[in-house]
Amino acid sequence: MTKPTADLSIIAANYNNGRYLDAFIRSVMASTMLPNELIIVDDGSSDDSREVLAKHAGLPFIKTIFFEENKGFTDALNAALEAASAKYIMRADPDDILLPLRIKTQYTFMEQHPEIDVLGSNVVYFRDSDGATLNVSNFPSAHHKIAESYRRGEHGLQHPTVCAKASVYKAYKYQKIFPAEDYEIFSRMVRDGHVFANLSEPLYRMRIHEGSATGNLKHAHIAQTFLFRDQIFGTKTSRFKVWSYWNHIRYYRKSLQSENPIKRYSNLALSVLFYPGKLFNRLF
């Protein structure tokens, strides 16, 4: 039976994720609704990524762009944005997994709610080493709550869960500054009045491993995020705020990576200590 196709382009930037690429592409193939195109930009990988991508070259919806040398994550994403030709653009990372209903659910929602410009969803975090589920995210659903998150210097949605109108996404593009490129682009959209939403159900499995962005966090990453916040929203963030929020995120991510239950909950307690409001939001 032929699967229906969504007027949707999935874009992904790959750099040395060869060991995960096959599972990622197969998760797209297993979707209940297929994309019009899956655009993977290989950013000068030095592993077996090209060989893995070559295996899937016969898929009618897959398109690959190869950089001969590493240009960086934002250049790769912008190249994918440029190449995308569908009505909607969906983000994904090649070390993660799309759940079978993601494409159909987000595409249908966008078609039924033309007032929404950018749509995300919750995610299931899972550990690479054994596949164990670690947590499920709790992003706000309503636009005003999402916008408040960005104005506070926080993320209102998970970057690789985004499904957005192509006309909006292409008008903004990613800045060359990395990291915090996702915070920056979506904050500009919020500032300019574009409407956001999140679906409450998890539609995406995000892999936690040593090489993932979720698994690596430096103080400079958080400092860059708040610098963008101050530039875009005209705020002034104290060094203490940057330091405390960095520790909150750092210990939370350590809790996700900890296989030892004692270490996991100790790190989680430290995360809450640095930002008690997050626990309040989770509970209420």
Q: Examine residue 198 and state whether it is found in any structural domain, yes or no.
A: yes
pLDDT at 275: 85
Q: Examine residue 279 and state whether it is found in any structural domain, yes or no.
A: no
pLDDT at 124: 97
Q: Which residue has the tokens 């959209």?
A: 189
Q: Examine residue 165 and state whether it is found in any structural domain, yes or no.
A: yes
Q: Is 164 helix (H, G, I), strand (E, B) or coil?
A: strand
Would you report the helix, strand and coil content of the chain in percent, each value rounded to 5?
45, 20, 35
Q: Examine residue 108 and state whether it is found in any structural domain, yes or no.
A: yes
pLDDT at 278: 65
Q: How far is CA 238 from CA 2, 192, 235, in A?
A: 56, 25, 10
CB neighbours (10 Å) of residue 260?
9
Burial class (CB in 10 A: 0-12, 13-18, 19+), 90: buried
Q: Average pLDDT of each block of 10 consecutive residues along the chain (284 residues)?
A: 94 97 97 98 97 94 96 97 98 98 98 98 94 92 98 96 98 89 97 98 92 67 95 96 92 82 86 76 56
Q: Are strands 62-67 and 118-127 parallel, antiparallel or unpaired?
A: unpaired
Q: How many domains does the chain have?
A: 1
pLDDT at 263: 86
Q: Examine residue 270 and state whether it is found in any structural domain, yes or no.
A: no
Residue 16 sits in a domain whose CATH number is: 3.90.550.10
Cis before 179 (ω within 30):
yes
Q: Examine residue 227 and state whether it is found in any structural domain, yes or no.
A: no
- Return the amino acid letter for 211: G
Q: Examine residue 62 and state whether it is found in any structural domain, yes or no.
A: yes
The predicted model scores a pTM of 0.92
pLDDT at 199: 98
CA atoms of 201 and 160, how far apart (whole Å): 15
| 12: containing domain | 5-208
pLDDT at 213: 52
Q: Examine residue 228 and state whether it is found in any structural domain, yes or no.
A: no
pLDDT at 281: 61
pLDDT at 178: 76
